[in-house]
Amino acid sequence: MRTVRTIAEVRAAVADGRTAGRSIGLVPTMGALHDGHLSLIHRARADAGLVVVSLFVNPTQFAAHEDLGAYPRSEERDAELASDAGADILFAPTVAEVYPHGFATTIHVAGITEVLDGKHRGAAHFDGVATVVAKLFGIVAPDAAYFGQKDAQQVLVIRRLVRDLDIPVRIVACPIVREPDGLAMSSRNVYLDPASRRQATALNRALDAAQATVTGPDTGATIVLAAAHSVLTEAGIDPEYLELRSPDDLTELDTIGDGALLAVAAHVGQARLIDNRILEAP
């Protein structure tokens, strides 16, 4: 695997791959790689001839009160993991390379960024995500890009970005990867002390409890949400949000219908965690 730092370098490396007739797969990450990230790299490796993994902690998607300074960073470890998983190129630019002096453009995806994480983290969060992903697509020009379903709202935002701007990239959403006890893998799990780590498993158990209430498409949101809230309350967790939304456009749902996204966010110990489940009628 080759590590490159500049836009010119990664473009040249990708151009060499295209000349050789290889398709390009991109896995955007902020580092602190775990098995969830590695599953994306494995999928890209299976699909693409050349796999590019970006490693960039994007400052524009962090609010002033969030954990930009504390976000876990370990490039040497990440490079080893990415290489072992099958990456060909690690693109690890500086902030100045991505946002040079005078950078003044922001992309805003309207309609699906005002709810859930957009409501609680602020509109600037998804503006930062959309802008940096658009830049990565412009720099690497991948045939396909791979994202984790744990960030379900982010996946929808990126799909809308690609659709609206006619960017020729296939977006591949890969399943959530969980710890043996059900906790969704996240780079922020390192913030959890042992007690908080045990408490955090309630998020997935709440999703399980909600799914267990679904008896048909007419199952109401009130029943579903009450089951999930009960598990969280018992674990001492007051969710930032717990909502039943359309998996297509994030409109709020009253019933399961043809399928519903149950999304949750909560502060557990020192970590802010998110999780979700697509609920379907049996």
* Closest by Cα among 122, 190, 115 to 153: 115
Mean pLDDT confidence for 226-239: 98
* Closest by Cα among 112, 90, 84 to 246: 112
Model pLDDT, residue 13: 96
Q: How far apart are CA 46 and CA 146, in angstroms?
A: 12
* Closest by Cα among 97, 95, 81, 4 to 40: 81
DSSP labels for 43-70?
HHHHH-SEEEEEE---GGGS-TTSSTTT
Question: Reduced to 3 states, what is the DSSP secondary structure of residue 34?
Answer: coil
Model pLDDT, residue 123: 83
120 catalytic? Reply is no
Q: Which amino acid is at 20?
A: A
Sorted by where each starts, the structural domains of the chain and their CATH numbers stand as 2-174 (3.40.50.620), 187-279 (3.30.1300.10)
Q: Which amino acid is at 231?
A: V
In sequence order, the 6+-apart residues with CB closer than 8 A to the CB of 18 are: 24
Q: What is the pLDDT of residues 46-64, one digit of tens each?
A: 999 999 999 999 999 999 8
Phi, psi of 245 (to 5 degrees): -130, 160
Model pLDDT, residue 69: 92
Q: Which of 37, 42, 65, 101 is catalytic?
A: 37
Q: How far apart are CA 80 and CA 279, in angstroms?
A: 37
Longest Cα–Cα distance in the chain: 58
What would the two tokens of residue 9 be? 């370098």
Q: What is the pLDDT of residues 173-221, one digit of tens each?
A: 999 999 999 999 999 999 999 999 999 999 999 999 999 999 999 999 9
Q: What is the pLDDT of residues 114-164, one digit of tens each?
A: 999 999 998 899 999 999 999 999 999 999 999 999 999 999 999 999 999
What would the two tokens of residue 81 be? 């993991």
Model pLDDT, residue 276: 98
CB 24 within 8 Å of CB 143: yes
In terms of residues, how long is the chain?
282
What is the band of 76 on the pLDDT scale with cuts at 50, 70, 90? very high
Model pLDDT, residue 72: 93
What is the band of 269 on the pLDDT scale with cuts at 50, 70, 90? very high
What is the band of 266 on the pLDDT scale with cuts at 50, 70, 90? very high
Q: How far apart are CA 34 and CA 161, in angstroms?
A: 26
CB 267 within 8 Å of CB 199: no
Would you say the pTM of this structure is higher than 0.75? yes
Is it the case that residue 4 has pLDDT exceeding 90? yes
Mean of per-residue pLDDT scores for the chain = 97
Is it the case that residue 240 has pLDDT exceeding 90? yes
